[in-house]
Structures are given as structure tokens and as C-alpha cells.
Amino acid sequence: MAAPAVLQMVTGGIAAYKACWLTRLLVQAGFSVRVAMTAAAQRFVSPLTFRVLSQHPVATDLWGEGQTQPLDHIEYARGCAVAVVAPATANILAKAAAGLADDIVSTLLLAYEGPLIVAPAMNDAMLRHPATRANLACLRQRGVIVVEPAEGFLACGTHAEGRLAAPEAILAAVEAAARTAPVRPVPDGSVAAVADRWAGQRVVVTAGPTHEPIDAVRYIANRSTGVFGFAIAADAAARGARVTLIAGPTALDAPAGVEGFVRVRTAEQLAAAVREALAAGADWLFMAAAVADYAPEQVEMGKLRKESLGTSWNLALRRTPDILGDVVNPDRKEGLRVVGFALETGEVLERAAKKLKAKGMDFVVANDPTAPGAGFGDGVHRAWLLGPAGQLWDSGPSSKRAIACGLLDRLAALTGKDGAA
């Protein structure tokens, strides 16, 4: 799927330096970012910074006389799924409310027809001014999303409201707006799922590693961080699915909007939680958890000591329940779709296809954490979706969040609301 394009507009306030970080976050989240800057913004940060971060020319003026090549501002605005002004000065809010178009950013704002987010940042007195408040109210009334400024230390030396919201909060607003932006045709010609494919679907997601205790202080673990499973749960919830997320030990917080959040530690506990969640009724199971295949045969209540273990230690292990094979498949309810995950190092697609068959999955998401550029946790990854007939989708290099989003788009397109395929 082509990366959705975001139009990021930067206006002239000291918070413009934080807009660089927002560009970075947007790119990491899988967006293709086009930046436009007012002349005042360019006094604070160089367009070069944004050109390097976004890997695209930056629109700096209406006439193509600035530091970048000439750009057709109408075209520039047209191709974008979401637009965001961050930081938004009192001046640009006034221009946007009035419909003025006397520079590149205000002209783009007038030409742009999609979802718009503004993140104001200014001195607290300017923010309180009735004119600014009226302008913000007017924009809100037109459907513009306002990411409220935070309270904190302002460049003018006061501690007050007016600070640009955290770039992470602005990113979340862009991601939410991108999800509800009009569905566009996907490159292979099929039309991406009707927007509400996931609405009301009961989705169970497992994520993260399991910890298998050896004694009171030691356990067997793996390097899974849970990021991918949490991203799937968050995205499905944002699309209106009723999500139960069952998570092994991770540092991640429950994503917004999930209906159920169950913390487990061991493979046994995960198996029990999956059984319970499926018994309550589910349309989809995403088994993204990296379940330990073996656990210590005996768990010592206290701490094992070197004196009793000696110079070498053979730890006896037993197989843990195979959750897909032993728990899900034996009494699998009609209508449940199972998406398994295969983490492979080498012969990724072949091995994943074998797992799909062996474990009775409907789909399998294959990935290789040792592939160049891939790895555990955040960063760039690549995944492939396979069905019984073979490969269905290649995410290309992307963030886990963007892959999760593409995966749900693709599964929706493949299965349809009527339950086909």
C-alpha cells in the first residue's frame, strides 16, 4: 500500500524546532510527509532540516523563488490524506478563519479540502485574546481538529498555557484522522475495504513475550516487545472493533479504546486467557504473542543457589501448550478467523506457509527480525501476509504501526463485510 501523504505546515514560532521531531515521528509511522513553511518559520528553522527529515522538497513560497524548486501549491495540497499546522501561530489561525491566502501556508490551507489539524502554540496572553479564541472556535465549527496547547514553560519566560502539544500527541491526532480519511483504491486495483469493515468485529489479540519462571528470581524469556500486537489492537480499536488484548510482560500501556486488557505472564496463563476470550465470542484471533515453547519442568519456590547447582546446570524443560494447535483448533467456533505470526530467520515465506497449514491458520504474517533494517521493538520492519494459496501482501520496509494499519486494510479487503473469503 502506498504510504498516506501528510501535509505538514510550519508557521513562525519558537516551537517550530519541535516540528522537526513531528516530521520524524510521521515518517517513522509510515507517512509520506510534505512540508510547507511560512517565511517566519524559516527564521527559526531551516527548510533544509525538513527536506532532509521528510526526504521531499519543502514548499517555502508561492513563487518558487525560495530555497526549493517551484511547487504547484494546488497539487501539493491535493495529494495529501491529512494536513496539520504545527506550530500554528495566532496569525495563521486568524488567516485560516478569515480565508486569507497571501503566502504559501495560508494558500495551501484554502486549497486543501481534507481533514485538517491545528496545534496552536503562542504566548498565553495571545492565546487568551478574544480574537484568537473566536478564530479557534470558528475553525472548530468547520470541523478542524485542534490539538490543545499544553501548560508549561513558555519562551517568553512565563509558566502558562500556550506551549505546543507534545509531537507524539499531534502524531496520534494525524493517525486518527488518516484512519477516517476517505478510503482510497489500493495499488493492485481492488478497492480497500469499506471503512467500517472492522466496526463491531470482536477481535482478540495476543502480544508480547511470555516469562517462564525457573525460580523466585529467574525466568526464561524472549526478545519480543509486544509493539506489533499492541499496534494491531490499537488500530482495530480505532476502527471500531471490540478488542480484547492479552499481553505478556511488556513495558507498553493498554492502547486507547480496547475493551478488554488482560496481563499474563506465562504460556499457561496466556492459553487460559485465550480460551476464555474465545469462549466469550470472537470473530478474529491475532496470535502475535511470542509464546515460549518450553518452560522449566520444576519451578523452585526460593532462589536456586550455585552451591546446590554445581559447576554446570542442566535445566529440564517441558513443552508449553501450543495455543493454536491445542487450545484454539480443537473446539474452534464457526466464523472465527485466525491470523498467526511466524518469526523466521531464513526461508521466511516457505516456513511461514508450512506453519499456516500445520497450525490451521487462515492467514499468517511472516517476518524476519534478522533481515537488514528489521529487528525487535520500534524501527523499520517488513512483513508478508500469506493465505492458503500463497503470498497476499508485502508491507515493504515500514514501521510496525504502519504495517499493522496496512495489514488490517488488506485483511478487510480480502474478507469483506459480508464474510466472503
Q: Which is nearer to ligand CTP, 54 or 320 (CB)?
A: 320
- Tell whether residue 262 is a contact of ligand CTP (CB under 6 A): no
Q: Give SS3 for 7.
A: strand
Give the whole-angstrom CA distance, residue 356 versus residue 338: 10
Q: Which is nearer to ligand CTP, 105 or 342 (CB)?
A: 342
Percentages helix, strand, coil for the chain, rounded to the nearest 5?
A: 35, 25, 45
- Tell whether residue 291 is a contact of ligand CTP (CB under 6 A): yes
Q: Which of 31, 198, 341, 384 binds ligand CTP (CB under 6 A)?
A: 341
Q: Which is nearer to ligand CTP, 112 or 384 (CB)?
A: 384
- Tell whether residue 278 is a contact of ligand CTP (CB under 6 A): no
Give the whole-angstrom CA distance, residue 203 versus residue 337: 9
- To ligand CTP, the closest distance from the beta carbon of 266 in angstroms equals 11
Of the residues 20, 80, 156, 405, only one is catalytic, namely 156
Tell how far CA 294 is from the center of its chain: 31
Whether 156 sits among the annotated catalytic residues: the reply is yes
- Tell whether residue 239 is a contact of ligand CTP (CB under 6 A): no
Q: Which is nearer to ligand CTP, 136 or 288 (CB)?
A: 288
Contact between residue 163 and residue 121 where contact means Cβ atoms under 8 Å apart: yes
Give the whole-angstrom CA distance, residue 101 versus residue 84: 17
- Tell whether residue 233 is a contact of ligand CTP (CB under 6 A): no
- Tell whether residue 366 is a contact of ligand CTP (CB under 6 A): no
| DSSP H/E element including 236 | helix 227-238
| DSSP H/E element including 366 | strand 363-367
- Tell whether residue 337 is a contact of ligand CTP (CB under 6 A): no
Piece of the chain touching ligand CTP by CB under 6 A; list 3-11, 16-24, 74-82, 319-327: 319-327
Give the whole-angstrom CA distance, residue 222 versus residue 348: 19
Contact between residue 250 and residue 211 where contact means Cβ atoms under 8 Å apart: no
Contact between residue 82 and residue 114 where contact means Cβ atoms under 8 Å apart: yes
Site size for ligand CTP (CB under 6 A): 15
Which residues touch 372 (CB under 8 Å, ≥6 apart)?
none
- Tell whether residue 395 is a contact of ligand CTP (CB under 6 A): no
Q: Which is nearer to ligand CTP, 196 or 350 (CB)?
A: 350
Q: Indicate which residues carry an active-site annotation.
A: 156
Q: Which residues bind ligand CTP (CB under 6 A)?
A: 267, 287, 289, 291, 293, 320, 322-324, 340-343, 355, 359
